[in-house]
Amino acid sequence: MHNIQLAATQIVQQVLVDGRNLNQVLDESLRRKSVWTPAQRAALQDLSYGTLRFYGQLNAVLDLLLHKHMTDNRITYLLLVALYQLQYSKAAKHAVVDHAVRSADILNPKIRGLVNAILRNFLRTQDALLVQATQKDEGRYSYPQWWIDELRMQYGEHATAILDAGNGHPPMTLRVNRRHGTTADYLARLSEQGNGARLIAPDALQLEKPVSVDKLPGFFEGRVSVQDAGAQYAARLLDVRDGMRVLDACSAPGGKTAHILETADVEMVALDKDEKRLQRVDDNLQRLGLTATLLAGDAATPDVWWDGKPFERILADVPCSATGVVRRHPDIKWLRRRKDIASFALQQTEILHSLWTLLAEEGKLLYATCSIFNQENQSVIDCFLAKHPEARQLPIDLPNGALLPNDAHDGFFYALLQKTA
């Protein structure tokens, strides 16, 4: 266990100190030690994700336990990982402490006694410490204070539910490929295998328990994909029909591209700035037996890649703060800064203006983010509409265009625009 503790400690430190992406660091760590069993890999992922998910609370508790600042950062992050295990995992308490002491012996033998004392003190006074940690918002909600303040300003009494939803474990949701059968058919196949699921949207089935994709019937034959129910709104709202020319302007990893192609026979152009991520679009389409023209290019500079033929539908799933998907990416909470939101809004505005020129008259553009901050959402749309009298925002079946994170889906924003003659 202590090797997993140490690996998780290094991962958490690289995220919080170096500002690195959690998935990337975790992948690198797993590749370095390919002999780990599936169970060990799952444990490492849980420790890394869990420590970052509850970092605000764990850090508040550690501050209460420490009488002075820890000079060795590595021990700080080891203690945070161990506190996560003691608070949230099913591992035996004495084993967690014992492994943490052994891990400390590797990192800094002089501090092993302190590590032992701190963790045993936590176990003795756990309930009181957790209550004390809630005295500050960061300790109570495990988000940066600026984030909490922003949500309270925008959502008032609903802010707490949004914060709590972001700290939950994400559901595993499937998108049934309607070209291969109905959701009812696939639900029956899952039931035959003992996998419970429920229908939560026209093509979406939410599993009672996550499973590996090789346990999903027909996955490798393209009968089903893994995609959050909130992300599945895009294909429905875009209102595509057979024969249309469609652009998915920021397409990687390809879930929305594929869903559109499963919905209608269209001429699809899938664009992405990152050539490596574009390969994932290609992989997804090949598995599903779907076809699109793949282009590496920047949505903000269409002059470089556009062939001059207008599109009847455009999906602008723009880069954003990803604040609506933090339960899948808990590192986002600690990597984002307040100033980033305004920076994303500028980038989104630039992309929206550029893509608008590619849209045919009477065509529709769907603007999408996985952000829950208004500055990236309706504020961007309002500024755009003020400068484009030929654009109108169409009503969609979502309150204020927003999907706030809950048990059924992550957080998203959608706005459907039409170009009038």
DSSP reduced 3-state for 40 = helix
DSSP reduced 3-state for 75 = helix
Q: CA-CA distance, 263 to 241, in Å (whole number)?
A: 8
Q: What is the SS3 string spanning 374-409?
A: HHHCHHHHHHHHHHCCCEEEECCCCHHHEECCCCCC
Count of Cβ atoms closer than 10 Å to residue 188 Cβ = 11
Distance of CA 245 to the CA centre of its chain: 29
DSSP reduced 3-state for 265 = coil
Element spanning 377, H or E: none
Beta carbons of 364 and 418 less than 8 angstroms apart: yes
Q: CA-CA distance, 242 to 263, in Å (whole number)?
A: 9
Please tell me which residue in 250, 320, 370, 383 is annotated as part of the active site: 370
DSSP reduced 3-state for 101 = helix
Kindly give, in sequence order, each residue whose CB lies less than 8 Å from that of residue 42, ignoring residues fewer than 6 positions away. none
Q: Is 320 a catalytic residue?
A: no
Q: CA-CA distance, 188 to 180, in Å (whole number)?
A: 14
Q: CA-CA distance, 11 to 28, in Å (whole number)?
A: 9
As a 3-state breakdown, the chain gives helix, strand, coil percent values, each rounded to 5, of 55, 15, 30
Kindly give, in sequence order, each residue whose CB lies less than 8 Å from that of residue 79, ignoring residues fewer than 6 positions away. 62, 70, 100, 115, 118, 119
Q: Hey, what are 143's tokens?
A: 């988000």
Peptide bond into 253 cis (omega under 30): yes
Residues recognised as catalytic: 370
